[in-house]
Structures are given as structure tokens and as C-alpha cells.
């Protein structure tokens, strides 16, 4: 492959993987199966290995997906919380075993544990002296979001361990999930209320555990299973199998069954046994986790940048079905992205009738050579949106024609564009009806204005009836407009109008996020709100001012500046003001004068006498800000033992580096 083509392919793969990371980990709205995602990573890893000069430390191939969200306090894991490498075949599983043998040596005997792999949300619980003190999501593997109060609502989780044989401090890893029965109960209630139903239990679980309102979390009966050992002081167990029994003795909810295996043949046999038994489990499983049983050998084997070498996940094959592809339609998203969709002869798959499946993008359609009239294999992995896996070439009609992706938007007929480095094509017309509908849905969503009762079906009806076409039209709706909507009675009308009225005085950052400016998510919106305090000041800001804000890069600054220079958006700001929209500016934070006033500090490694969380609190108490990534805007890096890539990057950028002694000296210069 030519050098320019290799660079282009790597850029596209990185962008595609980053997009799916965001959809899965932060938005809980995955579009592809785990297998398809893993194949993208395999392809990227291979290209980077063949072209080491193009490899980057920050490449998605070296990172754990990041689930951290604004609104939550982050907290460091005492022991890194990594993800697992996946395998999909017996031969790949045996390759894993061969690597273990090679690393430990032929003469070293060892055994395995086989456990069910849950399809939920990973969490790490810290118990001190047997008492639950903290619950943290995986985050980026180094630190995650503190969701302690939400986790405390899980009825099956004890806040105090049974018995007396507790270590002083222990991190216990597990998975939060929702039973199918609870998922059905919640969706039935939403149907009765005329609201959009949720897609699947895993996505609903991910959204629930990140709710800022603890009372809302408590209404949804989340459950948890615990199985993994993180930091433990003192270490009171030597085998993973013993740890499972220890958890059960402490009264913690554990996996329904696990197996011990003396060799890889037994491992494979037990995985097949698990596959047959998992239908009776109370939670969804999508595979098996195979671990070296000895914790001492686990430590000897170590880990890569993102996964332990001593464990692997074997993923069960997703259910597939064969059906006819009748048509290929193209959907238009909020930002204009054109997504091809396969319209299918209805077929039963994973307990539901499937009539549509995603084709992802034009490159995927071309790579698989999918054509109208083909017989295709569709797959529904992890209860997400079905996807076309392959074409049954033996059944292809003789007169089939190659599918050509449309050059223009199928809704408004505007010529589509393709941004360099992106796989997707986009419709650039901001007035495109499909984009208008998606923008309105985004604006009213929980993540933005949180207008109760204004879900997808309601927005669709309002647009179809010509009642709204711009964001400002939401604030012109009257009761006589709404009473004509399907499933709307007087109470529904009253509730929606009240929700719209309340949104007029919601937080400024929610409006900024709701506008849907490209690359401006909730975190960036909060930074902008804090900096400018009003829409008027933000709209008037120049690029030079925007790019100085911590967390706002040049590309994002350019997009923000362009958004507020667009005549349509200038008019929108004027209309919102006339309609009485007065977003709440962030409360002015009292500036603390101290050694780190106005300074940004990044923490890395293990500090000798304090946790990174404690150090972070002392930095903030001294007027500073703690950041998770090193950039030119970083003032100091506080480095402890085993500091890694952040320390190296700081050295390259010339950022000042502190050890704990220098850090404490800055906080209290009069100390010895």
C-alpha cells in the first residue's frame, strides 16, 4: 500500500474507533458489535506494526475506552482497572494458552478459572475495614467517575462485609447490570406514558449509573455481580478460585457458577458447558473469562498497556440469520452524517423480529459488496442494532448491480461532502429536515435541556405537522398545538409546556451543549459557560480567545467561532432572547489564593505518603486545577513511583515536574 494511502487508512481507522469508543463508553449508544469493533482495532494494530513510524502513544490501539463524564468527581484506582483482550475462536484461545506457557516456561505448572462474562457496566468497589467507602467506574483505567451514592441504591449490595477476615483496604471489581424483567417493566411504563422506549438493558444500565439524581437511580432496580480483585492490603488470598469463595463468604453477590480447569482442554470443555447453562442465569452473558488461577503468577505475567496477559475473554458467537435485502436507504443524522441502512425481509433474530440493519458507512458497503436483492447474514450481538455481516454470494441474482452511494443527501438533495480523515459523508445543509429533527431531539434530550415528555416520537410529530422547524419554535408551542398529538391528553400537554417553561432558566452549559456544535460535548460546554457566563459573550468571542481555554483545541475553537458567525445561528440567538430565554450562568467560584492559584496540575504514578485523590484535593484547596492529560497549558506534573507516559510527555514539552517532597514544600514553604 502506498504511503499516502496507509496514512489515510490509519487516520480513518483511528477516527472510526474513537467515534465508537465515545458512543459505547460515554453515550451508551453503540452502533456496532464487539466483534466488528475488535476487527477495526486488529486492522489498526497491524498497520501500526507494519509502519512503526506512524504509531502514536495516544492511538486508540493503546488505550482503554473512557467512560468519564462531566458532573462526576473522578477518583484514581489504587490498582489499574484494565479491559480484557477478546478472542472469538478455539484456536485463538489455544494461542493465548501457548503464550502463557512461553512466558512462564514449560516446567511451570498452573491452572485456570473459567467465569461467565457479564454484559454490563464495569465498576470497582473499595471497602475499608469491611465498610463500603467508594464505587468508581472503569473510566480510563487509571481513574474513573465516583458513583458511590448511585451504587448504594443497589439492594443486593451490602455496605458492610460479613465476618471478620477483611483486609484493611480492598478494591473489588465487578459488573452492574439490569435483569431482563426489570428492563421490560421500565419500557412498559414508558410505552404507557407515550415515551420512547430504551434499546437494551446494558445501555440503560450505563445511562442509569451515570444519573446525577440518586432518586432516579433508585427507581430502577439495578443489580451487581462481583468477581475481580484489584488493590488489596494486606493480600489475604492466593488464588482467584479462593477469592470467589471469599466474596461469597462476605455476603457479596457473585457469579452463579465458575469452573476450575487444569489444562486448556478442560477450559474449552467448560466454556461449552457455560454456553449451555447461561440461558438460566439471572443476568445476560456474552462470553467466558479465562484467568490464570494463581495470583502470584498473575503478577509475574503482568499486563500490556491496556489488558492483563493472564486473562482473556472468549466471546460467544452472536446469533445470526439469513434473509433478503430488499432495499438500501440512507439515514441523515443530527450533524449531517449519511448512514446506509439495509431494509430486510423480516426475520426472527435473538427473540425479536428484525426488518432493518445498519451498514455503517459507504466504505463498509463497498468492502462487503452489499447489493439490493442479495441474501445476507445479519447478526444481533449484545442486543444492539442488527448489522449485515456478509453476503451469501452463492444466492446472488445474476442481474444484481453494484450499489453506488448517493452523491447528494436523500432528504434535501444537497451535494454531500467528505471531511478529510473521516469515513462518513455528510449533508452540509443545516436546513435539511432530517438534521432539523435530530437537532431538536438532541436539544430536548436529558443530556441537554432535559425537557420531560419531548422524546423522539413527539419531536417527529411536531416536525411533521409543521409546528417546529427551529430550536426557538419549541418556545412558541401552545396547548392547542399539542392536544392534537397522538397519545396526548390535557395532563400530557400541561406537563410538556411546564417542562418547556422550566428549561428557559436551565444552566447555560446545557444550552451550549444543546446547540450541537461539532466537538462541543458536555465537558467543553461547561468550560465555555464558566469562561463567558452568557450566550452573548460566547457568541462574540474570537478564535484566539477560545483556543486559550483549557480543553478547547484549535479545531474546536474554529468550529465554535464558525457556528456563531452563521447567519441562521445569529438569528437563533436573537430569537431565544426575545422569547425570554435566560440561561443560568455558573456560580462564581471563590478564588483561593495559594501556591497553585491559577495553575493546572497533572498527577501520575503512585505517591509515597498520600493517594492521588488526596493530592488533588490539596491542589484545589490551594487554588489549582487538576487535569487528566498533559498539554502545553499544563503548569506542573506531580510524578510518583512508576510514572508513565504522562511524565515522558511532560519532559518533551518542558513542563515543570514535581516529586512529593517538592510538592509539599510548595504547599508549606516553612516546613522542614
191-206 pLDDT, tens digit each: 555 555 676 788 888 8
C-alpha cell at 467: 409546528
Comparing C-alpha atoms, which of 487, 534, 492 is closest to residue 511? 534
Q: Flag whether pLDDT at 5 surpasses 90.
A: no
C-alpha cell at 251: 455476603
pLDDT band, residue 152 (cuts 50/70/90):
very high
Q: Which residues pair with 408 in a beta bridge?
A: 415
What mean pLDDT is predicted for residues 591-603? 78
What mean pLDDT is predicted for residues 298-323? 89
Cβ-based neighbour number of residue 570 at 10 Å:
13
Phi and psi of 420, rounded to 5°? -55, 135
What mean pLDDT is predicted for residues 169-193? 82
User: CA torsion angle for 174, 178, 180, 185 (degrees, to 10)?
Assistant: 170
What pLDDT, on the 0 to 100 scale, is given for residue 642? 62
CATH topology for the 600-667 domain? Rossmann fold (3.40.50)
pLDDT digits (tens, 9 = 90+) for 437-490: 989 999 998 879 989 889 888 998 998 888 998 999 999 999 999 998 888 888
Q: pLDDT higher for 641 or 365?
A: 365
CATH architecture entry for 319-395: Beta Barrel (2.40)
pLDDT band, residue 652 (cuts 50/70/90):
confident
Lowest mean pLDDT of 306-320, 365-379, 390-404, name the range: 306-320
pLDDT band, residue 596 (cuts 50/70/90):
confident
Q: Flag whether pLDDT at 119 surpasses 90.
A: no
Cα distance from N-terminal residue to C-terminal residue, the chain? 62
Q: Flag whether pLDDT at 392 surpasses 90.
A: yes
What pLDDT, on the 0 to 100 scale, is given for residue 232? 93
What pLDDT, on the 0 to 100 scale, is given for residue 229? 95
Q: pLDDT higher for 472 or 646?
A: 472
Right CATH for 74-315 from 3.30.470.30, 3.90.550.10, 3.50.50.100, 3.60.110.10 = 3.30.470.30
Degrees (nearest 5) of the Cα angle 592, 597, 603? 115
C-alpha cell at 68: 468519564
What mean pLDDT is predicted for residues 531-535? 92
Residues of the chain with CATH 3.30.470.30: 74-315
Residues in the chain: 672
Residues of the chain with CATH 1.10.287.610: 3-62
3-class DSSP assignment, residue 341: strand
pLDDT band, residue 400 (cuts 50/70/90):
very high
What pLDDT, on the 0 to 100 scale, is given for residue 324? 96
* E runs forming strands in 43-198: 74-76, 86-87, 112-118, 121-128, 131-137, 143-145, 169-177
Q: Flag whether pLDDT at 282 surpasses 80.
A: no
What pLDDT, on the 0 to 100 scale, is given for residue 267? 96
3-class DSSP assignment, residue 9: helix
What pLDDT, on the 0 to 100 scale, is given for residue 196? 57
Concatenated DSSP letters of 255-319: -S--EEESSHHHHHHHHHHHHHHGGGSSS-EEEEEEEESBHHHHHHH-B-SSSBTTEEEEEPPPE
Residue 597 in contact with residue 623, Cβ under 8 Å? yes
Phi and psi of 94, rounded to 5°? -70, -30
Percent of the chain at pLDDT above 90?
Answer: 44
Q: pLDDT higher for 334 or 523?
A: 334
What pLDDT, on the 0 to 100 scale, is given for residue 672? 47
Which class is domain 433-503? mainly alpha
Q: Which residues pair with 584 in a beta bridge?
A: 507
* 285-292 and 74-76 strand pairing: unpaired
Lowest mean pLDDT of 151-160, 409-418, 429-438, 624-633, name the range: 624-633
Q: Flag whether pLDDT at 154 surpasses 60.
A: yes
What pLDDT, on the 0 to 100 scale, is given for residue 381? 54
What pLDDT, on the 0 to 100 scale, is given for residue 124? 96
pLDDT band, residue 147 (cuts 50/70/90):
very high
Determine which one of 117, 210, 291, 526 is catalytic: 117
Residue 201 in contact with residue 141, Cβ under 8 Å? no
CA distances from residue 395 to 323, 324, 375 in whole angstroms, order as listed: 11, 10, 6
What pLDDT, on the 0 to 100 scale, is given for residue 613? 67
pLDDT digits (tens, 9 = 90+) for 63-111: 777 777 766 788 899 999 998 998 989 999 999 999 999 999 988 999 9
Residues of the chain with CATH 2.40.50.140: 319-395
Degrees (nearest 5) of the Cα angle 526, 528, 532? 125
C-alpha cell at 354: 428484525
C-alpha cell at 507: 444552566
Comparing C-alpha atoms, which of 248, 230, 261 is closest to residue 114? 261
Lowest mean pLDDT of 14-28, 158-172, 366-380, name the range: 14-28
pLDDT digits (tens, 9 = 90+) for 22-69: 777 777 667 777 777 888 888 888 888 888 888 777 787 777 777 777
- Our answer to whether residue 526 is catalytic in this structure is no
Q: pLDDT higher for 383 or 102?
A: 102
Cβ-Cβ contacts under 8 Å for 176 (sequence gap 6 or more)? 120, 121, 123, 151, 154, 205, 209, 222, 223, 224
Q: What is the mean pLDDT of the chain?
A: 86
Q: Flag whether pLDDT at 391 surpasses 90.
A: yes
How many whole angstroms separate alpha carbon 538 and alpha carbon 553?
16
C-alpha cell at 152: 448504594
Cβ-Cβ contacts under 8 Å for 262 (sequence gap 6 or more)? 111, 112
C-alpha cell at 625: 486545577
What mean pLDDT is predicted for residues 390-401? 94
Lowest mean pLDDT of 254-268, 590-604, 656-670, name the range: 590-604
Residues of the chain with CATH 1.10.150.20: 433-503, 508-578
Top mean-pLDDT range of 62-66, 445-449, 535-539, 617-621:
535-539
CATH topology for the 3-62 domain? Helix Hairpins (1.10.287)
| Residue the block writes with cell 435541556 | 449
Cβ-based neighbour number of residue 159 at 10 Å:
11
Comparing C-alpha atoms, which of 644, 634, 637 is closest to residue 660? 637
Residues of the chain with CATH 3.40.50.10190: 600-667
CATH 1.10.150.20 fits 508-578, yes or no: yes
Lowest mean pLDDT of 133-142, 348-357, 504-513, name the range: 348-357
Amino acid at each position: 500500500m502506498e504511503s499516502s494511502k496507509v496514512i489515510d487508512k490509519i487516520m480513518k481507522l483511528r477516527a472510526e474507533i474513537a467515534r465508537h469508543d465515545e458512543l459505547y463508553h460515554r453515550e451508551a449508544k453503540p452502533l456496532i458489535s464487539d466483534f466488528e469493533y475488535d476487527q477495526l482495532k486488529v486492522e489498526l494494530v497491524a498497520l501500526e506494526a507494519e509502519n512503526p513510524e506512524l504509531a502514536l502513544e495516544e492511538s486508540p490501539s493503546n488505550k482503554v475506552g473512557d467512560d468519564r463524564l462531566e458532573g462526576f468527581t473522578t477518583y484514581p484506582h489504587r490498582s489499574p482497572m484494565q479491559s480484557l483482550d477478546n478472542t472469538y475462536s478455539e484456536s485463538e484461545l489455544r494461542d493465548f494458552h501457548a503464550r502463557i506457557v512461553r512466558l512462564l516456561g514449560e516446567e511451570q505448572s498452573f491452572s485456570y478459572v473459567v467465569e461467565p462474562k457479564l454484559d454490563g457496566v464495569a465498576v470497582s468497589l473499595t471497602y475499608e475495614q469491611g465498610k463500603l467507602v467508594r464505587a468508581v467506574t472503569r473510566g480510563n483505567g487509571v481513574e474513573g467517575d465516583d458513583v458511590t451514592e448511585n451504587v448504594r441504591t443497589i439492594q443486593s449490595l451490602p455496605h458492610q462485609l460479613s465476618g471478620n477476615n477483611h483486609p484493611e483496604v480492598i478494591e473489588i471489581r465487578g459488573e452492574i447490570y439490569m435483569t431482563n424483567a426489570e428492563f421490560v417493566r421500565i419500557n412498559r411504563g414508558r410505552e404507557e406514558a407515550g415515551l420512547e422506549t430504551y434499546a437494551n438493558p446494558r445501555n440503560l444500565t450505563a445511562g442509569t449509573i451515570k444519573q446525577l439524581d440518586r432518586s432516579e437511580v433508585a427507581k430502577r432496580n439495578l443489580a451487581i455481580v462481583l468477581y475481580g480483585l484489584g488493590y488489596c492490603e494486606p493480600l489475604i488470598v492466593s488464588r482467584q478460585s479462593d477469592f470467589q469463595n471469599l466474596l461469597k463468604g462476605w455476603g457479596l453477590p457473585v457469579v452463579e457458577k465458575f469452573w476450575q480447569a487444569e489444562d486448556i482442554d478442560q477450559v474449552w470443555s467448560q466454556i461449552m458447558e457455560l454456553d449451555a447453562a447461561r440461558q438460566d442465569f439471572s443476568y445476560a452473558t456474552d462470553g467466558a473469562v479465562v484467568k490464570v488461577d494463581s495470583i502470584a503468577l498473575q503478577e509475574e505475567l503482568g499486563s500490556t498497556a491496556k489488558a492483563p496477559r493472564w486473562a482473556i475473554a472468549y466471546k460467544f458467537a452472536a446469533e445470526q440469520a439469513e434473509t433478503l435485502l430488499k432495499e438500501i436507504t440512507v439515514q441523515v443524522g443530527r450533524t449531517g452524517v449519511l448512514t446506509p441502512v439495509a431494509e430486510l425481509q423480516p426475520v426472527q433474530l435473538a427473540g425479536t423480529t428484525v426488518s432493518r440493519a445498519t451498514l455503517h458507512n459507504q466504505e463498509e458497503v463497498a468492502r462487503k459488496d452489499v447489493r439490493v436483492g442479495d441474501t445476507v447474514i445479519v447478526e444481533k450481538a449484545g442486543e444492539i442494532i442488527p448489522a449485515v455481516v456478509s453476503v451469501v454470494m452463492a444466492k446472488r441474482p445474476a442481474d444484481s448491480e453494484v450499489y453506488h452511494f448517493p452523491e447528494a443527501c436523500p432528504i434535501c438533495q444537497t451535494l454531500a461532502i467528505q471531511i478529510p480523515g473521516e469515513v462518513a459523508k455528510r449533508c452540509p445543509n443545516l436546513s435539511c429536515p432530517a438534521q432539523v429533527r435530530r437537532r431538536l431531539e438532541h436539544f430536548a434530550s436529558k443530556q441537554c435541556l432535559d425537557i420531560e415528555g419531548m422524546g423522539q416520537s413527539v419531536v417527529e410529530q411536531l416536525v411533521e405537522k409543521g409546528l417546529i422547524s427551529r430550536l426557538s419554535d419549541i418556545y412558541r408551542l401552545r396547548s392547542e398545538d399539542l392536544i392534537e398529538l397522538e397519545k396526548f391528553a390535557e395532563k400530557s400537554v400541561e406537563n410538556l409546556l411546564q417542562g418547556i417553561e422550566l428549561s428557559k432558566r436551565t444552566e447555560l452549559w446545557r444550552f451550549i451543549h444543546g446547540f450541537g456544535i461539532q466537538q462541543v460535548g458536555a465537558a467543553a460546554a461547561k468550560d465555555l459557560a464558566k469562561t463567558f457566563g452568557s450566550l452573548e459573550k460566547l457568541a462574540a468571542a474570537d478564535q484566539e480567545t477560545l483556543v486559550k481555554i483549557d480543553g478547547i483545541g484549535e479545531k474546536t475553537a474554529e468550529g465554535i467561532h464558525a457556528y456563531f458567525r452563521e447567519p441562521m445561528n445569529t438569528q437563533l440567538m436573537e430569537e431565544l432572547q426575545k422569547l425570554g430565554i435566560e440561561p443560568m450562568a455558573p456560580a462564581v467560584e471563590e478564588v483561593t489564593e495559594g501556591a497553585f492559584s491559577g495553575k493546572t496540575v497533572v498527577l501520575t504514578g503512585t505517591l509515597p505518603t498520600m493517594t492521588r485523590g488526596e493530592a488533588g484535593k490539596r491542589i484545589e484547596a490551594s487554588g489549582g486545577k487538576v487535569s487528566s492529560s498533559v498539554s502545553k497549558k499544563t503548569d506542573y506534573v506531580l510524578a510518583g513511583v512508576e510514572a508513565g507516559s504522562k511524565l515522558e510527555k511532560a519532559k518533551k514539552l518542558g513542563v515543570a515536574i514535581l516529586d512529593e517532597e517538592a510538592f509539599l514544600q510548595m504547599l508549606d514553604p516553612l516546613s522542614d
